[in-house]
Amino acid sequence: MFSHNSEVPYQIARMTRRGFLQGSMASLAGAALPIPKARAGLRAYSLSAVPAKVKLLGVKGAGKTDVWTYSGSTPGPLIRARQGERLRIDVSNGLPQETTLHCHGLRIPNAMDGVPELTQAPIQQGERFVYEFDLHDAGTFWYHSHTYSAEQVGRGLNGALIIDEKEPPMVDRDLVWVINDWRVNNAGVMSDDFNHPHDISHGGRIGNLITLNGAEWEDFDVKAGERLRIRLINAANARVMGFKFGGLNPKIVAQDGHPVKPYEPAGGRIVFAPGQRVDLIVDIAGTPGERLAVVDDYYKQFTYTFITFNVEPGEVLRESPLDAPITLSGNPLSEPDLANAETKKVLIEGGAMGGLRAAVYKGDKVELRKLWRQHRKVWVLNGVASSGVNMDPIFKLKLGKSYRWRIHNDTVWDHPMHLHGHAFRVIERNGKPEPHTPWADTVLLYAGDVVDIAFVADNPGDWLFHCHVLEHHSGGMGAVVRVA
């Protein structure tokens, strides 16, 4: 057994960081895809959750930022394995608080899910916990702390978890892009107002610095004719991203890790909310010297250029797009039986300008104003504000049975709703069939939306269902679902 932390960098070859660090970047150019060697199909990693100082701001003169990391970096080390293998992650806790590790989107046994109190006792300071499970699905996943998440994830405790297909599609580069959003000042000092009441009751902790793999970027060098696979991971606490790839004509090949029939999103615009992932195939059709900007215009008043693809002058890799299939082979998911599925309803209420009067909290009906003052709870699922995870299940689902959930967002805010331990199909939105009916573990509901999801409850245990705007989860937006 060995671990592979330091030798597993994110592939950042040929990126140009704003203004400096060019030399050190150059040394990473052409780094091969790092897949550690397996011993008898087991891949072992260790992560230590520790505070560190890192350079987030690419501006000259800005200092380092105090963050919390896995093994010294944010995002933490890239964890990579192959479908069908077994993965072990040994987590040690060097934080000033207890912690847990959650592998977001993986369908694993309940005891490995990393939800404190619900699936395990939290890892105390100085202690460790070994997560180990089989990998059924290939795809783009991620890992993050699931204890005091608004603070711990907000301070940087996240990383990418990539499970390679047995036969991956042919691409020139396979890029893992963990995108995060921070609240820092010009000197690089992070604001420590986690779970600020305004963030809880409104749109969550929206920051002012967007990073790609832990740093601010400007240009990304590509070659004409090159085929890229880009794995977008939204690791932000609250910021929804709406990337316009304009002239780059991306094709979406997977969502939340699971393959979809490749399609071009309308206007080249890709919306992905906290927790969600999107896999793209991009054939660089530009001519040498051309510059193609990726613009995030999700929040109309804060439009910014995320990165600019710079088509290298001179070299043309190929004249016409690579003639190789881009369709990924599917994961072994059980298709829900819609004709016989039982329907359940989830009603989301609360938040600022929501008009919610009262909520059930720890079994008692409480006036909302009082609940807000005393416990900072302002969101409910089916009338109940969560109090941590020691709650009665909202639903008791029968193992092996198909369910259709009708989720109604009766608030004026966006909510990316995440179900643990399962993948579901997004069937319908506001009475219309959802295009592509993707498999997902996190579905974004816009204000007022009614969304139908369907899945087979095939993984036994008590699972969390919550909003991935982490401040909303702190503010009451979580529930337990029992599958037995």
Chain positions contacting ligand C2O, by CB under 6 A: 102, 104, 144, 146, 275, 418, 420, 464, 466, 468
- 464 makes contact, choosing from Cu ion, ligand C2O, none, with CB < 5 to 8 Å by partner type, with ligand C2O
On the CB side of 110, CA atoms within 13 Å amount to: 16
Bond into 75 cis (ω within 30): yes
- 469 makes contact, choosing from ligand C2O, Cu ion, none, with CB < 5 to 8 Å by partner type, with Cu ion
- 467 makes contact, choosing from ligand C2O, Cu ion, none, with CB < 5 to 8 Å by partner type, with Cu ion
Q: What are phi and psi of 470, to 5 degrees?
A: -65, -30
Taking the least distance from each CB to Cu ion, the nearer of 79 and 348 is 348
Q: How far is the CB of 43 from ligand C2O (least distance, A)?
A: 21
Taking the least distance from each CB to ligand C2O, the nearer of 207 and 225 is 207
Q: How far is the CB of 153 from ligand C2O (least distance, A)?
A: 8
Helix (H/G/I), strand (E/B), else coil: 152: helix
Taking the least distance from each CB to Cu ion, the nearer of 235 and 260 is 235
Give the span between the Cα atoms of 189 and 185, in whole angstroms: 5
Q: How far is the CB of 31 from ligand C2O (least distance, A)?
A: 28
- 472 makes contact, choosing from Cu ion, ligand C2O, none, with CB < 5 to 8 Å by partner type, with Cu ion
CB count in 10 Å sphere of residue 144: 25
Q: How far is the CB of 134 from Cu ion (least distance, A)?
A: 32
Helix (H/G/I), strand (E/B), else coil: 444: strand
Q: How far is the CB of 401 from ligand C2O (least distance, A)?
A: 23
Give the span between the Cα atoms of 255 and 274, in whole angstroms: 13
- 273 makes contact, choosing from ligand C2O, Cu ion, none, with CB < 5 to 8 Å by partner type, with none
Residues at the interface with Cu ion (CB under 5 A): 415, 467, 469, 472
Q: How far is the CB of 163 from Cu ion (least distance, A)?
A: 27
- 415 makes contact, choosing from Cu ion, ligand C2O, none, with CB < 5 to 8 Å by partner type, with Cu ion
Q: How far is the CB of 23 from ligand C2O (least distance, A)?
A: 36
- 17 makes contact, choosing from Cu ion, ligand C2O, none, with CB < 5 to 8 Å by partner type, with none
Task: Calculate the CA 221 to chain-centre distance.
Answer: 25
Taking the least distance from each CB to ligand C2O, the nearer of 341 and 464 is 464
- 102 makes contact, choosing from ligand C2O, Cu ion, none, with CB < 5 to 8 Å by partner type, with ligand C2O
Q: How far is the CB of 415 from Cu ion (least distance, A)?
A: 3
Reduced 3-state DSSP string for 71-140: CCECCCCCEEEECCCEEEEEEEECCCCCECEEEECCCCCHHHCCCECCCECCECCCCEEEEEEECCCCEE
Taking the least distance from each CB to ligand C2O, the nearer of 229 and 277 is 277
User: Nearest residue to ligand C2O, using CB?
Assistant: 104
CB count in 10 Å sphere of residue 89: 23
Taking the least distance from each CB to ligand C2O, the nearer of 102 and 227 is 102
Give the span between the Cα atoms of 381 and 171, in whole angstroms: 43
Q: How far is the CB of 442 from ligand C2O (least distance, A)?
A: 7
Taking the least distance from each CB to ligand C2O, the nearer of 122 and 188 is 122
Q: What is the DSSP letter of 158?
A: E
What would you measure as the largest C-alpha separation in the chain, in angstroms?
70
Taking the least distance from each CB to Cu ion, the nearer of 258 and 415 is 415
- 275 makes contact, choosing from ligand C2O, Cu ion, none, with CB < 5 to 8 Å by partner type, with ligand C2O
Closest CA to 76 of 164, 192, 161: 161
Q: What are phi and psi of 416, to 5 degrees?
A: -85, 105
* Amino acid letter, residue 69: T
Question: Going edge to edge, which strands form the sheet with 217-224?
Answer: 15-17, 217-224, 304-316, 291-296, 241-244, 269-272
* Amino acid letter, residue 359: A
Taking the least distance from each CB to ligand C2O, the nearer of 102 and 202 is 102
